[in-house]
Amino acid sequence: MARSDYLFTSESVSEGHPDKVSDRISDEVVDLFFREGPKSGLSEWDIRAACETLCTTNRVVIAGETRGPKNVGAAEVEAVARKAIKDIGYEQEGFHWKNAQVEVLLHAQSAHIAQGVDASGNKDEGAGDQGIMFGYACRETPALMPAPLFYSHKILKLLADARHGGKEPTLQPDAKSQVTLRYANGVPVEATQIVLSTQHSHESQTSNDIRKIVE
């Protein structure tokens, strides 16, 4: 028998969280290959870009296998990575879009992998080895997302808007929110716990100071 009364928690990380920064840079690199490919006469089906990114203190490492336009090299990849970091808002000691060390370790896709992934002579599509995550829609929120995740995302969106708009200049990009809702008969009825942690620029600020800002 399914439980109808329970607590459910979802967590969100902000655009400045290292995992999210890495995802953003990887996305920008893949977009770069697909954006520049047609300019070189390549079909989107000819392009391959498997990119993974690691971010740490003042360092970004971009690695993976690619096949695409010859005009996309390390300099172009580094440029989109720096722009992504700048757009997120990192201009601080320890991680700054201008002086962070960006190491590009992309290399050509293995011929053996290409042989398995490319369509064969009879036009059958090759077999890829990349997984796709998927979820489902529900009626708990206007966005058709589960309520704990929806509100967790929304909290960080408000925080990001305040930071980008200059309303709260002491806030920094890295943040995390966690929302716990109580469900009764399978329906969310109240928030039992909201946790929010955020990076900030003033070491003298206390938890109470930050609470006043985010509330």
CATH class of 6-14+135-214: alpha beta
Give dist(CA 28, CA 32) in Å, integer. Answer: 6
Q: What residue ranges do the domains of the chain occupy? A: 6-14+135-214, 18-117
Residue scoring higher pLDDT (208 or 144)? 144
Q: What is the CATH number of domain 18-117?
A: 3.30.300.10
pLDDT tens digits for range 108-124: 866 555 555 555 555 55
Q: How many helices, marked H, and strands, marked E, lie in the chain?
A: 5, 8
| Residue that is written with structure tokens 């009364």 in the block | 5
**pLDDT, tens digit, for every residue of 53-111?**
999 999 999 999 988 888 899 999 999 999 999 999 999 999 999 999 999 999 886 65
pTM, rounded to two decimals: 0.78
pLDDT at res. 4: 78
**DSSP characters for 30-45?**
HHHHHHHTGGGT--GG
Q: Residue 154: pLDDT above 90?
A: yes
Q: What is the pLDDT of residues 125-141, one digit of tens each?
A: 544 555 556 667 899 99
Q: What is the pLDDT of residue 1?
A: 43
| pLDDT above 70 for 210 | yes
Would you state the pLDDT for residue 42? Answer: 87
